[in-house]
């Protein structure tokens, strides 16, 4: 895999040091390394598979282990992304973001969304786990989205009417990342990885996505972005829906009608 030189050297340094810890069954790498898209701006995403009998001990020593790998500037666990096993690290010389995920072998077998490359291991355990348990990025559940989308639109309309514009701006960003971008990528036959690399992967839709971003902190501008988000969602939903999809038409009609009443009451700033 093509890897920038600074990343390659630092990665080798990390692996050489971690290999000395006999409590580790192996080290694997994921992320942009797998797709060959690593560049100077990339993170390094590592999975450290720990022997069961040492797992709790290693978890307690995570930051100490991270500190032994290089010039650690900061580190914190990944509860903010629902992954407490993750240690998010920032190193200096070179300045690189490294994710260290500490897992048991059984979790490595079943709890993955990609097929990692094994960098080192004991007894072929990790390579066998990847071979016997291939994984792919989780598919988009369009029914899950449809069941929620129109409730979110009503919520945005209420906040818009109250003048909580930043709340609506945040909601628009959430829907762009969790709904619109994944659906657009599914339609294009790509992995639904949110807005990551959207400019590169879907250049023909950049203008459409820009219209879901308010130009300024103004009720009318935010309302326009919200309506563009609705239009884009409908377009994407209708393009990929199957006969099994239950379209929540009553919720769609009611929430969009309510949104229009709110917009009609808005006064220019």
Residue 105 DSSP SS3: helix
CA distance from start to end of the chain: 53
For Cα atoms 66, 69, 74, give the angle at the middle one, nearest 5 degrees: 45
- 232-264 pLDDT per residue, tens: 999 999 999 999 999 999 999 999 999 999 999
- 151-161 pLDDT per residue, tens: 999 999 999 99
What proportion of the chain, given as a percentage, has pLDDT over 70? 99
Residue 81, C-beta contacts closer than 8 angstroms, at least 6 positions apart: none
Q: Which strands form 83-92's sheet, in the order they lie side by side? A: 71-78, 83-92, 96-104, 44-50, 24-29, 117-121
Mean pLDDT over 99-122 rounds to 94
- 29-70 pLDDT per residue, tens: 999 999 888 999 999 999 999 999 999 999 999 999 999 999
For the whole model, what pTM was predicted?
0.89
Residue with tokens 């960098």: 119
Residue with tokens 């994944």: 182
On the CB side of 145, how many CA atoms lie within 13 Å of its CA? 23
Query: What torsion do the CA atoms of 149, 154, 157, 162 make, to the nearest 10 degrees?
Result: -130
Q: Residue 113's pLDDT is what?
A: 86
* Domains present along the chain, CATH in parentheses: 5-132 (3.30.460.10), 142-265 (1.20.120)
Tell me the Cα Rg of the chain: 23
């Amino acid at each position: 895999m093509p890897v920038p030189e600074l990343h390659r050297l630092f990665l080798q340094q990390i692996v050489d040091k971690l290999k000395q810890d006999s409590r580790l069954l192996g080290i694997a790498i994921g992320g942009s390394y797998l797709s060959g898209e690593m560049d100077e701006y990339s993170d390094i995403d590592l999975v450290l598979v720990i022997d069961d009998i040492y797992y709790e001990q290693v978890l307690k020593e995570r930051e100490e282990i991270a500190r032994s790998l290089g010039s650690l500037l900061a580190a914190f666990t990944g509860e903010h992304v629902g992954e407490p096993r993750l240690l998010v690290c920032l190193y200096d010389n070179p300045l690189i973001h490294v994710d260290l995920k500490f897992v048991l072998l059984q979790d490595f077998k079943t709890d993955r969304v990609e097929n990692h490359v094994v960098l080192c291991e004991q007894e072929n355990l990790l390579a066998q786990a990847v071979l016997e348990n291939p994984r792919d990025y989780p598919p988009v559940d369009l029914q899950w989205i449809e069941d929620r989308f129109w409730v979110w639109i009503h919520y945005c309309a209420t906040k818009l009417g109250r003048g909580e514009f930043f709340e609506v701006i945040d909601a628009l960003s959430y829907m762009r990342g969790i709904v619109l971008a994944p659906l657009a990528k599914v339609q294009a036959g790509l992995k639904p990885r949110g807005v990551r690399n959207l400019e590169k992967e879907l250049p023909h839709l950049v203008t459409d996505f820009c219209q879901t971003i308010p130009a300024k902190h103004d009720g009318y501008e935010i309302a326009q972005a919200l309506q563009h988000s609705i239009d884009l969602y409908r377009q994407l939903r209708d393009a990929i829906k199957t006969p099994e999809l239950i379209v929540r038409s009553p919720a769609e009609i009611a929430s969009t009608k309510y949104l229009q009443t709110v917009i009609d009451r808005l006064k220019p700033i």
